[in-house]
Amino acid sequence: MVTLISSINGIKNYCSFNSTKLYQRVFIKRTSSSNTKIPDVKRIRNFSIVAHVDHGKSTLADRLLEITGVIKPGTEHAQVLDQLQVERERGITVKAVTASLNYTHNNEQYLLNLIDTPGHVDFANEVVRSVSACQGVIMLVDANEGVQAQTVAVHSLAKRNNLLIIPTLNKVDLPRANPDKVKSQLKTVFDIDPATVLSISAKKGWGVEELLQAVITRIPPPIVKLDDHFKAHIIDTWHDKYRGVLCLAYIHSGKVRIGQTVKWRSGSKQHTVKFLALLRPQEEPIEEAGAGQVIMVGCGPKGGGSVGDQLLSIDCADTGDAITVAPVRHMVYAGVFPADQSQHTQLSDAIKKLALNDSAVSVTPDSSPALGQGWRVGFLGLLHLDVFTQRLLQEYKAEAILTAPSVPYKIKVKGSKIIKQYKGEEVIITNPLQLPDANNIAEYYEPLVIGTIITPVEYIGAVTSLCIDRRGTPLPSNAVDDRMTMLQYILPLSEVVVDFHDTLKSITSGFASFDYQDYGFHPSPLIRMDILLNGVLVEELSTIVHVSRLEYNARRLTEKLKEMIPRQMVQVAVQAVVGGKVYARETIKAYRKDVTAKLYGGDVTRRKKLLKQQAEGKKKMRSVANIKIPRNTFIDVLKK
């Protein structure tokens, strides 16, 4: 438990956060205070902190919370905005969380809405959503590490969204910090004037007050109309046991009050606003809020709300010009199954709730002869997948089995019957089993990304070999300074998602950084490879591979299966085939595994117990042509 102490209008409020339960914010008793007053738009600043992983966003957010009186200076409330257990354990930010802070500058009271954003590439859509409510960003760069791949990504995101950038060097307290060098990197890579760069130590609090002043003087207030119809855009949602869906909303125009009748843009039903609050980051209930503010709003258990939707006053007819956030593109898919079918309902419930909070996942029902009824879930990347399963377990106590991740492909089908069957010519394939016969496929497409790598010059050779080996196409490279270079490659997503980042880190002793952005689907010579056991197709093991990888993958998969499938009563032929042609074959010799052999028939009860255990184990196996395959095989064999 973390205890927060906040000072609201001179009254000290004590509030507890349970870090294991996201957003179950303690509902503070309504105080008869002036906080119901709608702030003057000119005194609102909505901003975000963006940076490469570990450059200090959360630490800076803590300092800002201290300076504005939300937490006591020097207390052990590190990383208040990282509320998820997984965030604290992994030291990464997953969800964007908001804090509305009061700050006085030149005797004027300002409302600063700070939106903490995740740093990892997998959570880029959370970043996009949070910046959609901002007018400026603090771009933090570690004064020791310098510009990294993700700094390039967040800078271009801010530019694309016309946000004012406050370039800020962090960790200047470190003995090896070299602010001048990093300033010249910023000039070379982004053409940032060194005179505009601030230097701070988020850890020690140095320069943070000046940074807050820069937020007020450099970032413009939101441009909104207070006297127009109420219109708000939902940037996040979460579920509350008692109050239903609660939303984080940015108000574009007009005002909203408790008790007001509203509607969702996506529906025609009317709802009543039941909950309104500022997040500081704990809830501070308010009666009314106005354009330019970022607030929490809820319409009760049946009131609904989803990310990207708009909440409107009932007389609001104009709904066309809100911020549109690009739809989420799922980069990685995996099958999610209950460890035991009896836990299906519980897991289903947990997935539903988590999907509401983590709107970036896509969930569709799936079933497999080996793993039973489950779901095919789309993720933004592997870390996202990992975090999702960890949250299922930690926050909802739901244990899930995950199949090996794969990327989506696209095909163009031919033949009027097939086009009708697939409801169109172009089809996204998230599971190789969805592929029609090869004769009906006119073209295959695979997803590509533009990968940005910033590496010390001495590793250029190793990084280039890695990228070429992963079927990369080089783009022009740029020097960051005399020691670091920025390389860019067009890479197939399938070659990136599994272990590219880890391999890159290991070949560069951890010095290179990597980020990627979607480059869309492009034609590619792909093929479906099947696995046969004694001539019988095992559906779950079919994969889509690039023709240049066919022989290698065929050998690797058959060898791995030979290792993973226990010997059977009969000899088993493991074959990797494409359209009837065998590309690799392994043989598992016949053998009867007698678990009681070592007991010499001595202790009958022990012998019986072991035989029973063996029988139980067999129940957990999938049987193909009388061959028993352990369930784990289906989960592990496709992993690298």
Q: How far is the CB of 56 from ligand GTP (least distance, A)?
A: 3
Tell me the residue number closest to ligand GTP, measured at CB. Answer: 119
Strand partners, 452: 488, 515
Rg over alpha carbons for the chain, rounded to the nearest Å, is 28
Candidates 201, 237, 452, 494: give the one binding ligand GTP (CB under 6 A): 201
Among the listed ranges 170-178, 188-196, 326-334, 463-471, the one in contact with ligand GTP (CB under 6 A) is 170-178
Among the listed ranges 102-110, 200-208, 262-270, 548-556, the one in contact with ligand GTP (CB under 6 A) is 200-208
Q: How far is the CB of 62 from ligand GTP (least distance, A)?
A: 8
Q: In Å, how far from its chain's centre is CA 56?
A: 19
> Residue 188 in contact with residue 152, Cβ under 8 Å?
no
**291/448 Cα distance (integer angstroms):** 40
Residue 117: closest CA among 163, 60, 156 = 60
Cβ closer to ligand GTP: 201 or 431? 201
Contact between 174 and ligand GTP per CB under 6 A:
yes
Q: In Å, how far from its chain's centre is CA 377?
A: 13
Q: How far is the CB of 295 from ligand GTP (least distance, A)?
A: 24
Q: How far is the CB of 116 from ligand GTP (least distance, A)?
A: 8
620 assigned ligand-binding residue? no
170 assigned ligand-binding residue? yes
377 assigned ligand-binding residue? no
Cβ closer to ligand GTP: 70 or 629? 70
Candidates 97, 121, 138, 202: give the one binding ligand GTP (CB under 6 A): 202
Cβ closer to ligand GTP: 138 or 296? 138
Q: How far is the CB of 207 from ligand GTP (least distance, A)?
A: 9
Cβ closer to ligand GTP: 177 or 273? 177
Cβ closer to ligand GTP: 64 or 311? 64
Q: How far is the CB of 452 from ligand GTP (least distance, A)?
A: 17
What does DSSP assign to residue 570?
S
Strands annotated E in 32-178: 44-51, 97-105, 108-116, 136-142, 164-170
**328/561 Cα distance (integer angstroms):** 35
Please list every residue from 89 through 128 that binds ligand GTP, using CB under 6 A: 91-93, 119
Cβ closer to ligand GTP: 49 or 276? 49
Pairing of strands 44-51, 136-142: parallel
**283/49 Cα distance (integer angstroms):** 21
- Residue length, the chain? 640
Secondary structure (3-state) at 618? helix
Q: How far is the CB of 49 from ligand GTP (least distance, A)?
A: 8
Q: Which residues of 109-147 are buried (b: 16+ CB within 10 A; e: fewer)?
A: ebbbbbbbbbbbbbbbbbbbbbbbbbbbbbbbbbbbbbb
Q: How far is the CB of 162 from ligand GTP (least distance, A)?
A: 24
57 assigned ligand-binding residue? yes
> Residue 433 in contact with residue 539, Cβ under 8 Å?
yes
**32/285 Cα distance (integer angstroms):** 10
> Residue 546 in contact with residue 526, Cβ under 8 Å?
yes
Cβ closer to ligand GTP: 505 or 585? 505
52 assigned ligand-binding residue? yes
C-alpha distances in Å from residue 347, one per residue of 19, 73, 351, 391, 401: 22, 42, 6, 12, 11
Contact between 513 and ligand GTP per CB under 6 A:
no
Q: How far is the CB of 512 from ligand GTP (least distance, A)?
A: 17
Among the listed ranges 199-207, 297-305, 549-557, 585-593, the one in contact with ligand GTP (CB under 6 A) is 199-207
Q: How far is the CB of 91 from ligand GTP (least distance, A)?
A: 6
Residue 60: closest CA among 249, 241, 203 = 203
Cβ closer to ligand GTP: 209 or 228? 209
Among the listed ranges 171-179, 272-280, 286-294, 589-597, the one in contact with ligand GTP (CB under 6 A) is 171-179
82 assigned ligand-binding residue? no
172 assigned ligand-binding residue? yes
Q: How far is the CB of 141 from ligand GTP (least distance, A)?
A: 11
The dihedral sign for the CA sequence 348, 353, 356, 358? negative
x-or-dash string of contact with ligand GTP, 45-64, rule CB under 6 A? ------x-xxxxxxx-----
CB atoms inside a 10 Å sphere around CB 623: 11
DSSP 506-564: HHTTT--EEEEEEEEEEE--EEEEEEEETTEE-GGG-EEEEGGGHHHHHHHHHHHHHHH
Q: How far is the CB of 156 from ligand GTP (least distance, A)?
A: 18
Among the listed ranges 16-24, 131-139, 198-206, 627-635, the one in contact with ligand GTP (CB under 6 A) is 198-206
Count the residues of the shown chain that bind ligand GTP, applying the rule CB under 6 A: 19
**43/297 Cα distance (integer angstroms):** 22
Cβ closer to ligand GTP: 4 or 64? 64
| First and final C-alpha spacing in the chain | 38
Alpha helix segments (H runs only) across 320-421? 344-357, 382-396, 416-421
x-or-dash string of contact with ligand GTP, 123-162, rule CB under 6 A? ----------------------------------------
Cβ closer to ligand GTP: 60 or 347? 60
Pairing of strands 526-533, 536-537: antiparallel
55 assigned ligand-binding residue? yes
Cβ closer to ligand GTP: 23 or 583? 23
Cβ closer to ligand GTP: 116 or 540? 116
Contact residues toward ligand GTP (CB under 6 A) are 51, 53-59, 91-93, 119, 170-171, 173-174, 201-203
Question: Which residues are known binding-site members for GTP?
Answer: 51-58, 116-120, 170-173
Question: Which residues are known binding-site members?
Answer: 51-58, 116-120, 170-173
